[in-house]
Structure 1
Amino acid sequence: MRRHQPASVLIGVVCCLVLGGCGGGEPRRDAGTPAPATSSGGGTAASAGAAPLKSVKARPERKPFAAGNPNGRAAVPPEARAVDTSDPAHVIGDGTPRGCTSAAVVAAVARGGVITFDCGPEPITITMTATARVVNARPRVVLDGGGKVTLSGGGKRRILYMNTCDKALGWTTSHCNDQPTPRLTVQHIAFANGNSTGERAEGGGGGAIFVRGGRFNVVGARFQDNRCDATGPDLGGAAVRVLDQSRGQPVYVVGSTFQGGVCSNGGALSSIGVSWAVLNSVLIGNRAIGRGANPARGGTPGGGSGGALYADGNRFTVRFAGSVVSGNRAAEGGGAVFFVSNDLTGTLAIEGSRLSRNPSAGFETPGFRGIFYRGAGPPRVSSSTLR
């Protein structure tokens, strides 16, 4: 296969799981509203002749959402674990939903550092009216939703964007495609209904999140019903698209869930020349819907490969460990995984994982159900099920 031009368990059981520099001192609140007021007074004694007060049972606080494969046993290296957020640089919200707005998210991401939310006890969805963009001079950005915050693109826009080669965000080195910062981590947060359709800069894709350069990790996050362009031979990543990572280090996806994504390629994840380590995670019901594969067949727009993950390039690795990949599909190749290392140096490993019911309508590698693979030797499969 020729070098491409850069442009890109079981369902019932999994669904119950899926759906079921920092500043010191006092963190900055980014809601644009004052701190929550405290109530005063209000004893329980009633005046003579007054009707007795009724006791009101407090509504219990709802639990944070679930994400990832709780039965996964893959070891998580220190660099892939959740970041400590006990001393945040910015807190979005004032203890109530009113301060948790798109504008507050955009402003906090631009300022960088560790960002948390204080939106009250109930889960909340913040519909973004603009894409949050990481400023390249920020060494670290951590976005932690505490398991209760969903950022929604409203079906209209990409939610989060980082690109070390985008001069509008500051060009901080002479080698923008290989620099160690910013380090972006999204953790304990959900991204839903992101849509990058029509966003063709850097080849497009990345319906919820687009990343180029620096480092990027996903920990305990959930991605639901994200979208990117429906056709194109190399673009992809309905949830996440990544180009370039510092010194070829992998993107870690840990304890996270990707469901219902739709794109030309990579119904959940997509990359060119980037390594992935997908640990204790769930990818379910994602679709690659393009037509014509890559290179595109004559008379077709191209695409349709990698129902869950689309990975292309030269020397890179993909590793699934402790993960479930189920019910994904591709209109062309690799209902679960499309992996092409053009110079045949890349490797694919599947460890302690279950891949099931991931149909490839066009083509896949014999003996590896749901996978199309070209790399160094055969895929390495251990303690796993492919069916």
Structure 2
Amino acid sequence: MVALGVAVTLLSACGPSVPRADPRSVQPPVVPADGAAPSAEVAEQPGGQPGGQATPPARTGLGGGPSGATGGTRPVAPAAPTGGAPTGNPAGAVAVPAAARAVDTSRPTRTVGTGTPASCTSTAVVRAVAAGGIITFDCGPDPVTIEMRATAKVRNANGPQVVLDGGGKVTLSGQGKRRILYLNTCDPLQGWTTTHCQNQDHPRLTVQNLVFANGDATGQRTDGGGGGAIFVRGGRLKVVNSHFVDNRCDRTGPDLGGAAIRVLDQHDNQPVYVVNSSFTGGSCANGGALSSIGVSWEVLNSTLRRNTAVGEGANPARPGTPGGGSGGAIYADGNEFSVRIAGSTIEDNQAKEGGGAIFFVSNNRTGTLRIEKSTLRRNPSRGFETHPGIFYQGSGNNPLR
């Protein structure tokens, strides 16, 4: 196990862009790499480089009409970010806790499609997600891409479990026009179900055996925006055996992020699990793959490759700049939270500002970043870092321990 920690000058926090009690990210200074030799497990090589959805009745066989009428389905192979390789990191061998494993979907609540590609439509997906429960797909024997014509939104009263299982043959595409999937327990348009929306145990959203491609949250400002493929605030999120390919969110903003996934709040500060999954080609102001505020993560046996933080000016934004540019793959900010990367590969990502691979700031210095049995390489930070490919402010003073 390798835990990373670097002492840096204490800096003041910037103001919040979403309603939270915690302070937000600091403006990091330009700090040269500390020169410590990377461990055998962390081999870094720096280089250059709104509207609500009406709740439908619970039913199975949520097939739509012809694809031209309800949102297209194309019988093409799902995008594979690693040239057809399996999801995740094939070399990863870290044990996966029971809570992080795939959900049994052998007895689904409802099914998208009735056995043909044409029956697997955007409308069918949107209805199924709003209805909740365990959702599988029956789109025929071949892989399909479902072109989403609207964002699928979780209704907070429907669940408490919402599971989407693509069976390894379904791609959900945002067509470069929209976010694909949305859960927000504090959004009144999706229904408030408790008096403490920011800390409730439901809905519990799991996505597994799916590809999320070409999602784009550009211009989405609810709770600060971000989350090109998936946006989650509240409840719980788990991602298993899934690909995220070429997703996008706004190119500028000091704290906006998550080209693939953006998460705010998780019940009782439990972690988001990302297991045996791959993220490639993502681009956003911050967090070219993953982004969060005050949220813990466990990224297990996964791969994050060729993602980019393209913003400029860091956080808070330097005068005359729009802000952003940190966390080529992962942007994690807040107070008391942790990030664990285990059995994973993070490579060829880059940040215009800080943390070509990972940007981690715990404002009160209680947060921890832990990297185990993982490889980080060729993740250039164009502006600043405290360790090759990483900007870290959190608990501990030792560069490697």
TM-score (ref. length: structure 1): 0.84
**Aligned partners of 2:17 and 2:293: how far apart in 1?**
9
**Aligned partners of 1:66 and 1:73: how far apart in 2?**
14
**1:377 alignment partner in structure 2:** 396
**1:118 alignment partner in structure 2:** 138
**2:300 alignment partner in structure 1:** 279
Which amino acid letter does the alignment assign opposite residue 370 of structure 1? G
**Aligned partners of 2:379 and 2:113: how far apart in 1?**
41
**2:118 alignment partner in structure 1:** 98
Kept in 1: contact 2:64–2:123 (CA 8 A): no
Kept in 1: contact 2:137–2:167 (CA 8 A): yes
Residue 311 of structure 1, aligned match among 320, 325, 332:
332
**1:226 alignment partner in structure 2:** 247
Does 2:268 align with 1:247?
A: yes
TM-aligned CA deviation for residue 380 of structure 1: 7.9
**Aligned partners of 2:238 and 2:230: how far apart in 1?**
12
Query: What SS does structure 1 have at the residue aligned with 2:376?
Result: strand
Residue 172 of structure 1, aligned match among 193, 198, 212:
193
Kept in 1: contact 2:226–2:259 (CA 8 A): yes
Kept in 2: contact 1:65–1:147 (CA 8 A): no
Which amino acid letter does the alignment assign opposite residue 156 of structure 2? N
**1:38 alignment partner in structure 2:** none
- Mapping 1:195-234, distance limit 5 Å: 195-234=216-255
Deviations 1:150-186 (A, max 9, x none): 0000000000000000001110000000000000000
Residue 155 of structure 1, aligned match among 154, 159, 176:
176
Kept in 2: contact 1:6–1:272 (CA 8 A): no
**1:320 alignment partner in structure 2:** 341
Deviations 1:94-147 (A, max 9, x none): 111010000000000000000000111111100100000000012010000001
Query: What SS does structure 2 have at the residue aligned with 1:364?
Result: coil
Identity %: 66
Does 2:87 align with 1:67?
A: yes
- Could you say which structure has the larger radius of gyration? 1
Which amino acid letter does the alignment assign opposite residue 313 of structure 1? G
Kept in 2: contact 1:347–1:379 (CA 8 A): no
TM-aligned CA deviation for residue 379 of structure 1: 7.1
Which amino acid letter does the alignment assign opposite residue 363 of structure 2? N
**Aligned partners of 1:125 and 1:90: how far apart in 2?**
19
Deviations 1:255-281 (A, max 9, x none): 000000000000000000000000000
**2:46 alignment partner in structure 1:** none
Kept in 2: contact 1:76–1:279 (CA 8 A): yes
**1:29 alignment partner in structure 2:** 61
5+ residue gaps, structure 2: 1-10, 19-40, 42-58, 67-76
CA RMSD of aligned residues (A): 2.1
TM-aligned CA deviation for residue 33 of structure 1: 6.3
**Aligned partners of 1:87 and 1:33: how far apart in 2?**
25
TM-aligned CA deviation for residue 381 of structure 1: 5.5
Residue 319 of structure 2, aligned match among 285, 293, 298:
298
Kept in 2: contact 1:261–1:286 (CA 8 A): yes
Higher relative CO (CA 8 A, sep ≥ 6), structure 1 or 2? 2
- Mapping 1:188-199, distance limit 5 Å: 188-199=209-220
**Aligned partners of 2:381 and 2:85: how far apart in 1?**
31
Kept in 1: contact 2:306–2:350 (CA 8 A): yes
**Aligned partners of 1:82 and 1:262: how far apart in 2?**
27
5+ residue gaps, structure 1: 10-26, 35-60, 383-387
Deviations 1:58-93 (A, max 9, x none): xxx999972100110111010100000000011111
Kept in 2: contact 1:349–1:379 (CA 8 A): no
Kept in 2: contact 1:33–1:94 (CA 8 A): no
**Aligned partners of 2:292 and 2:362: how far apart in 1?**
12
Kept in 1: contact 2:163–2:206 (CA 8 A): yes
Which amino acid letter does the alignment assign opposite residue 389 of structure 2? G
